[in-house]
Structure 1
Amino acid sequence: MAANTPFVFATLGPEGSNHEINVRRYLAFHGLSHARVDCLPNFDLAFEHLLDGRADFVVQACLHPQVGACIGRHHPRCRLVDCFLGPTAPMGVLTHAQREAPRTLGLMPATRVYFDASRWPTQVELPSGPEVARLLLAGDIDSGFTDLSLADQHPGRFRIELDVGAVDIAWLVYGREGVCGGALVASAETPLAQRCFR
């Protein structure tokens, strides 16, 4: 890639997703002010963009249910080339304030580990937190696991059923050329290494 050509990072959209927020934090950390973030509807398309050159990198949350499949399916044409830690937005379950006995719940599959969803007889799996928020706002579901700021943006409309808070997770960066070369790639400059191992 030419030095003056900005990098393109593909990730899971829509805009405002935890994926986009953390990719932008990563770019700011590295001073990549001219890089572009492409928010795509799924990782199949993101890896297609990486393989055909429309994207230079893909960023994926370590908890995304397709991580194993993406690593296996695209090896060796796509490799893990970096990772970083970053928090999600404060997350939890919101319910329409006037719905006393909620029956439908929208959630991303990866978020099931945070709570017991069995009290909702109908569960709708969705690709992102913003999509859960969209269905909540439309009134199509009673409850949803999403960014809790939605309750602040719409005072009185939702009640907080569960507050998980922000979750620190690893974000995986894929590229077309591997960086390991058969060896461990790690840094002695991480906060953990500086605090505990030095």
Structure 2
Amino acid sequence: MPATNSSTSPAAGTVRFATLGPSGTNHELITRRYLASQGIDDFEIKLILSFKDAITMLLEDAVDYVMQCAVHPETPQTLGENFRSVFAIDCFISDSQELAVLSRRDVQRPESIGVLLPANEKYTDLSRWKQVVSYSSLPLINEALLVGEIDSGLVYRAYADKHPEVLRVDEVIGSPDDVWIVYGRKRAFKEKLIGFGDGAFLDDVRVRLTERAAARSRAAVHID
């Protein structure tokens, strides 16, 4: 599920990211926000449903970087299982879309709720529902809510505005300030502490694009 800012297939100058989908997630929003903050206009964002798939794409050179929220349930696995081949090269803090507990208008006393667990389990008192169902992303919770698979969902507040005939707002949670991690294949840490704005990410981008351009040049010469 590519979300691209380029009208053609990825060129030597295109920065390729993988992050959590489907379309409309905070991960996609923050990835776009991050790229804008770095002054990168030529990019491609590939949306995945599992960070295991994203890391595979990174290791196979299908993408250059992966964006992941630090509180996502797969983050310990992403860092722990791949620490010799995948490295955190940048991190930053950002708010995102406002969260809320939404319920179906045709359900007076909701008994089930969809939640991104364990990341969002403390945002509200889940003991109010008889059944708590775990999902891998908020758009998937919203889809389940709209078709009646669950009565309530801890999702983006904006969904109620998009579907006012179906959904009501039961509780406004707000937007937490989360830490976000950018992963690459080359280690950025070199003895001294690295902070946001130190340029580690852009340094890596320059190296990656230079290497890709050189590889394509060598391939063209070989074909000729």
Q: What SS does the aligned partner of 1:114 have?
A: coil
**Are 1:53 and 2:61 matched, yes or no?**
yes
**Distance in 2 between residues matched to 1:188 and 1:156, nearest whole Å:** 45
Shift of 1:4: 3.4
Match of 1:126 among 135, 138, 141: 135
**Displacement after TM superposition at 1:182 (Å):** 2.6
Instruction: Give distance in 2, aligned partners of 1:63 and 1:35.
Output: 25
Match of 1:154 among 147, 163, 167: 163
What is the CA-CA distance between 1:76 and the residue it aligns to? 1.4
Structure 2 counterpart of 1:70: 78
Matches of 1:77 and 1:67, distance apart in 2: 15
Task: Name the aligned partner's letter for residue 83 of structure 1.
Answer: C
Secondary structure of 2:42 counterpart? coil
| Structure-2 separation of matches of 1:61 and 1:106 | 19
Aligned pair partner of 1:186 in 158, 174, 195: 195
Q: Residues of 1 paired with 2:34 and 2:44: CA distance?
A: 12
Report the residue type matching 2:125 in the other structure: D
Deviations 1:2-44 (A, max 9, x none): x933111011101110000000011111121111101101100
2:199 is aligned with 1:174:
no
Q: Deviations over 1:137-187 (max 9, x none)?
A: 111110001011111112242221221112211110000001112321125
1:7 aligns with 2:15: yes
Partner of residue 218, structure 2: none
Q: Which residue of 1 aligns with 2:216?
A: none
CA distance in 2, matches of 1:66, 1:11: 12
TM-score (ref. length: structure 1)? 0.90
Residue identity in the other structure for 1:169 = D
**How far apart are 1:63 and its partner, in Å?**
0.8
Question: Could you tell me which amino acid in structure 2 is paired with residue 184 of structure 1?
Answer: L
Moved over 3 A (4+): none
Q: Which runs of 5+ in 2 are unaligned?
A: 1-10, 199-224
Looking at CA atoms only, which structure, 1 or 2, has the larger radius of gyration?
2
Aligned match of 1:196: none
Query: Which one-letter code corresponds to 1:132 in the other structure?
Result: I
The percent of aligned pairs where both chains have the same amino acid is: 34
Flag structure 1 segments of 5+ consecutive residues without an equivalent. Answer: 190-198
